[in-house]
Amino acid sequence: MSTPQAHLVDDDEAIRDALAWLLQSREIASIAYDSAEKFIADWHPEMSGCVVLDMRLSGMSGLDCFDQLLAKNSTLPVIFLTGHGDVPLAVNTLKKGAFDFFEKPLNDNELASRIEEAMALDATQRAANATVDSVKSRISRLTTREKQIMELVVAGKYNKV
């Protein structure tokens, strides 16, 4: 698994720099991308943290990037930023699974707090998934007879039965 980071995707250099500085002041690791295409090219399933994604980007839009992440089964929480938001757009992105939606100009402290919450959620989900994967791995190593016994024990039978 990679180091948890806030992945900042915005084509405006001033916004990227301001967000990176804000997060650095809160001791939150971040990495910036100037396009959705570059972020998607770097994305891998082990990537952890969260994504702060501008809705309107030159090239691939933030919404298209989000759709690609969903298609890749990404579990990274996504926080959208936009200077041109409207209620239906916000509702649509939240229904699709976005973590949050901020309209520019925004409250820096509120955004930083939500990024921390998104990163904590990601860490919790990854820990839970690791536990499930560990259990599945152990179950897959059981013999046929051990699986039969386990099924009976789970059904409430005593081991001697």
pLDDT digits (tens, 9 = 90+) for 34-47: 999 999 999 999 99
Contact call for residues 81 and 102 (beta carbons, < 8 A): yes
Look up the pTM and report it. Answer: 0.81
pLDDT digits (tens, 9 = 90+) for 100-123: 999 888 899 999 999 999 999 999
Residue 9's pLDDT band (cuts 50, 70, 90): very high
Q: Which of 80, 23, 26, 21 is nearest to 55 (CA)?
A: 80
Across the range 89-110, mean pLDDT stands at 90
Beta bridge partners of 78: 51
Residue 1's pLDDT band (cuts 50, 70, 90): low
* Helix/strand number for the chain, H first, E second: 6, 5
Residue 72's pLDDT band (cuts 50, 70, 90): very high
CB neighbours of residue 123 within 10 Å: 14
Q: Helix 108-140 and helix 13-25: axis angle, to 10°? A: 70
Q: What is the pLDDT of residue 139?
A: 82
Across the range 28-33, mean pLDDT stands at 96
